[in-house]
C-alpha cells in the first residue's frame, strides 16, 4: 500500500515530528508513505492522500482527480466553516453555542460576545468583545472575511476535545486556558486526560457518523454544571495535546485505521 501525507509548506515545518511519526508507523505496518507539500502533485498510483491542510478547494481537486482522501473534501469544507459546523450540530439535535453570521456591528444585540472569522483556527481570529468599539475594531481588521457572533459563555476557559477515528472515540482531553477565555493548548493552556460519560460519547459519535469522517477533533465547551455545548470541528486536528496526555502513538492508530479501511 502506498500513500502520501499532504501539508502546506509552512505547516509541514511546524508539524515535522508528527510527520516523522506517521512515516515511521506507516512503514512498521507495510505502508509506503511520503510527504507531499505545496503545489506538488501526487503520483497517480497512490492508494490514499492523508490530507492535512485547511483547503477545501484543493481537497476537492484531489478527489475530482480520483484520489481517496483521508478526510474527504466535504469534511474539510464543513469543519473549516464554523457556521456550517454549528448548523450540522443543530440539525443533529446536539446542544451548541448559539452562532449567527453578522455583517455589521449593529447586528450584535448583546455584550459581552465572542466574534470569530468562520475559518480561523488555533485560537486565532477570535476576540472577546465587551463593547461596540471593540467589535468595530474586529470588523475593521477582518472586513474581507465572514464573521460570526456567539454569546460569551462562562466555562472557566475549559473545553473538551474529542478525538475520533471513524465513528469511534480514541481519546479525549480537557483543555483549560491560562489567563484567557481561550483554552487552546498551543496558546499556553493546560491539558489533561478526560474520560467521557456515555451520553458525551454518543453525541461525538453522532457527529462523526453524520460527517463520514476519518480523523477529526470535536470541541465542546464544558459548563460549570457538567453539561457541554458543541463549539467546533477540527480538520486537520492537531495531536500535541493527545501526545502529552496519553501513552500511545496517534500516528500509529491513524495508520492502522487507514490500512484496515483500504484493505
> Where do the domains of the chain lie?
2-73, 79-94+155-262, 100-151
**How far is the CA of 171 from the CAs of 2, 35, 256, in angstroms?**
27, 26, 16
Mean pLDDT of 121-134: 90
For position 185, what pLDDT does the model report?
A: 47
More confident residue, 190 or 163: 163
Instruction: Tell me the per-residue pLDDT of 44-91, one tens digit each, with 9 for 90 and over.
Output: 999 999 999 999 999 999 999 999 999 999 999 999 999 999 999 999
Mean pLDDT of 160-184: 85
Residue from 165, 167, 148 nearest 231 by CA: 148
Question: Does residue 184 register a pLDDT over 80?
Answer: no
Question: Does residue 186 register a pLDDT over 60?
Answer: no
> How many other CB atoms sit within 10 Å of the CB of residue 223?
15
For position 122, what pLDDT does the model report?
A: 80
**191: Cβ contacts below 8 Å, ≥ 6 apart:** 173, 174, 175, 176, 185, 241, 244, 245
Q: Which long-range contacts (CB under 8 A, 24 or more apart) does 179-185 make?
A: 181/114, 181/128, 181/152, 181/157, 182/123, 182/126, 182/157, 183/157, 183/158, 183/159, 184/122, 184/123, 185/240, 185/241, 185/244
Q: How many Å separate Cα 191 from the centre of its chain?
A: 16
Instruction: Tell me the per-residue pLDDT of 92-120, one tens digit each, with 9 for 90 and over.
Output: 999 999 999 999 999 999 999 999 999 98
For position 99, what pLDDT does the model report?
A: 96
For position 187, what pLDDT does the model report?
A: 54
Q: Does domain 79-94+155-262 have CATH number 3.30.470.20?
A: yes
> Coil, strand, or helix at residue 209?
helix
Question: Does residue 191 register a pLDDT over 60?
Answer: yes
Cα angle for residues 206, 209, 213 (degrees, 5° grid): 130
Mean pLDDT of 138-144: 94
Name the architecture of domain 2-73.
Answer: 3-Layer(aba) Sandwich (3.40)
Q: Which of 35-39, 120-124, 202-206 has the lowest mean pLDDT?
A: 120-124
For position 188, what pLDDT does the model report?
A: 64
Question: Does residue 201 register a pLDDT over 90?
Answer: yes
The three cell numbers of residue 58 are 484543493
Q: How many Å separate Cα 246 from the centre of its chain?
A: 19
Q: Does domain 100-151 have CATH number 3.30.1490.20?
A: yes
Average pLDDT, the chain: 94
Amino acid at each position: 500500500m502506498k500513500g502520501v501525507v499532504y501539508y502546506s509548506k509552512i505547516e509541514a515545518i511546524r508539524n515535522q515530528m508528527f510527520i516523522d511519526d506517521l512515516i515511521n508507523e506507516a512503514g512498521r505496518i507495510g505502508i509506503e508513505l511520503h510527504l507531499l507539500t505545496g503545489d506538488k502533485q501526487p503520483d497517480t498510483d497512490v492508494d490514499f492522500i492523508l490530507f492535512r491542510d485547511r483547503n477545501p478547494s484543493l481537497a476537492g481537486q484531489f478527489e475530482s482527480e480520483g484520489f481517496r482522501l483521508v478526510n474527504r473534501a466535504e469534511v474539510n469544507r464543513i469543519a473549516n466553516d464554523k457556521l456550517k459546523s454549528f448548523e450540522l450540530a443543530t440539525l443533529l439535535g446536539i446542544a451548541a453555542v448559539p452562532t449567527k453570521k453578522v455583517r455589521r456591528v449593529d447586528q450584535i444585540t448583546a455584550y459581552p460576545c465572542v466574534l470569530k472569522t468562520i475559518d480561523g483556527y488555533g485560537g486565532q481570529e477570535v476576540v472577546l468583545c465587551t463593547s461596540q468599539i471593540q467589535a468595530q475594531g474586529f470588523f475593521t481588521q477582518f472586513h474581507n472575511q465572514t464573521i460570526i457572533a456567539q454569546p460569551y459563555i462562562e466555562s472557566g476557559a475549559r473545553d473538551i476535545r474529542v478525538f475520533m477515528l471513524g465513528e469511534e472515540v480514541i481519546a479525549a482531553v480537557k483543555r483549560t486556558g491560562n489567563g484567557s477565555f481561550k483554552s487552546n493548548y498551543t496558546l499556553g493552556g493546560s491539558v489533561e486526560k478526560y474520560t467521557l460519560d456515555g451520553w458525551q460519547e454518543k453525541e461525538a459519535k453522532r457527529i462523526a457518523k453524520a460527517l463520514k469522517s476519518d480523523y477529526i477533533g470535536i470541541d465542546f465547551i464544558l459548563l460549570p454544571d457538567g453539561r457541554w455545548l458543541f463549539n467546533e470541528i477540527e480538520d486537520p486536528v492537531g495531536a500535541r495535546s493527545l501526545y502529552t496526555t496519553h501513552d500511545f502513538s496517534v500516528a500509529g492508530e491513524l495508520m492502522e485505521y487507514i490500512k484496515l479501511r483500504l484493505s
